[in-house]
């Protein structure tokens, strides 16, 4: 039996990543998979004031604190997936006036965290047979790919075929169909279908394959999302919010055609659940990264003709 622990969409949360690594021992998993959207979305400036105190917006509230609280405040932000940097009023004004410099600081903060995660992975899993597969998703900037390099226990499986414990082959793709947010890794449904087809053609045993595709298949319980307008506000329907199917037709077609053993998906945080497309079990554990909650899926795979023995969606 091969036991997989899968999670996704941790969006820079230090707490969630540490829980992810601890899942190997806690759940006795043979394989760890983090399926995309690993970086955060917010950069918080912490301004050093003339009186030696610091000021920052912590979860939307203006907060002033002493130097001895600086490390703790930065940890609190990072646990929720928010990057921070220390600057002065003059430095902050300079950044606001130069978009290029601001982007460089943001990229630097993300790269620093990724490097620390690679190092932490090696430390935590040293001496074990557990492999940790971490790949980018549609929200992750292309400039950060150079930080996601294979390093012992840490493997970036993006856009290739890797063999998991037990002989199962896995393909991975973090790209998405178009979204209202125009994220870094978005392509048309046609292009997405071509990319998946190219990967699928390299699989020797499709019936035992795992498809680690960040976007869920369209028209399932895994791709229900609130509709947003052009100004990024929710679209109302009746007394609530309109819900649409935001998954990918290309992903669904690939699963229907190739009938892999297992589909691992994320992207849409609200759609925790599972679905069957033919023989394929598709899972989306959902995401609550901002609260430090790690949602996951624990799957037991049986080599040979056993397939998916059982699975459970987890939260902790």
Give the 3-state secondary structure of residue 245: strand
Residue 303's pLDDT is 84
pLDDT tens string 78-119:
999 999 999 999 999 999 999 999 999 999 999 999 999 999
DSSP letter at 146?
Answer: G
Residue 215's pLDDT is 98
Q: In what order do the strands lie in the sheet with 262-264?
A: 161-163, 169-173, 210-213, 262-264, 280-284, 273-277
Is the pTM higher than 0.95? yes
Residue 69's pLDDT is 98
Residue 226's pLDDT is 96
CB 25 within 8 A of CB 125: no
Tell me the DSSP string of 45-88.
Answer: EEEEPTTS-EEEEETTEEEEE-GGGHHHHHHHHHHTTEEEEEE-
Residue 230's pLDDT is 87
Taken in order 243, 247, 253, 258, the sign of the CA dihedral is negative
Domains, in order of start, for the chain: 2-39+124-315 (3.60.21.10), 43-105 (no CATH)
DSSP letter at 235?
Answer: P
Q: What residues in the chain have per-residue pLDDT under 50?
A: none
Residue 62's pLDDT is 96
Cross-strand partners of 176: 186
Please give the structure tokens belonging to residue 114. 């990724």
């Amino acid at each position: 039996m091969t036991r997989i622990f899968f999670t996704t969409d941790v969006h820079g949360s230090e707490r969630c990543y540490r829980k992810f690594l601890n899942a190997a021992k806690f759940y006795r998993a043979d394989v760890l998979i983090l399926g995309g959207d690993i970086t955060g979305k917010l950069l918080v400036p912490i301004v050093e004031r003339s009186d030696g105190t610091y000021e920052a917006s912590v979860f939307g509230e203006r907060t002033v604190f002493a130097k001895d609280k600086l490390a703790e405040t930065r940890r609190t932000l990072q646990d929720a997936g928010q990057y921070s940097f220390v600057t002065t009023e003059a430095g902050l004004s300079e950044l606001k006036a130069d978009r290029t410099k601001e982007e460089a600081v943001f990229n630097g903060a993300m790269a620093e965290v990724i490097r620390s995660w690679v190092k932490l992975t090696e430390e935590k899993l040293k001496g074990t047979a557990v492999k940790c597969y971490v790949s980018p998703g549609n929200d992750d900037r292309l400039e950060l790919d150079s930080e996601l390099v294979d390093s012992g226990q840490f493997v970036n499986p993006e856009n290739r075929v890797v063999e998991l414990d037990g002989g199962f082959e896995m393909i991975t793709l973090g790209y998405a169909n178009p979204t209202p947010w125009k994220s870094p890794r978005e392509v048309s449904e046609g292009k997405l279908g071509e990319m998946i087809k190219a990967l699928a053609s390299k699989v020797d045993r499709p019936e035992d394959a795992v498809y680690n595709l960040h976007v869920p298949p369209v028209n399932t319980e895994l791709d229900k999302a609130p509709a947003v307008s052009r100004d990024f506000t929710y679209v109302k329907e009746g007394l609530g919010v309109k819900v649409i199917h935001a998954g990918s037709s290309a992903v669904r077609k690939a699963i229907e055609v190739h009938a892999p053993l297992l589909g691992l998906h994320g992207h849409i945080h609200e759609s925790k659940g599972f679905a069957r497309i033919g023989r394929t079990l598709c899972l989306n554990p959902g995401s609550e990264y901002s609260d430090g909650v790690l949602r996951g899926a624990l799957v037991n795979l049986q080599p040979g003709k056993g397939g998916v023995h059982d699975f459970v969606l987890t939260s902790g």
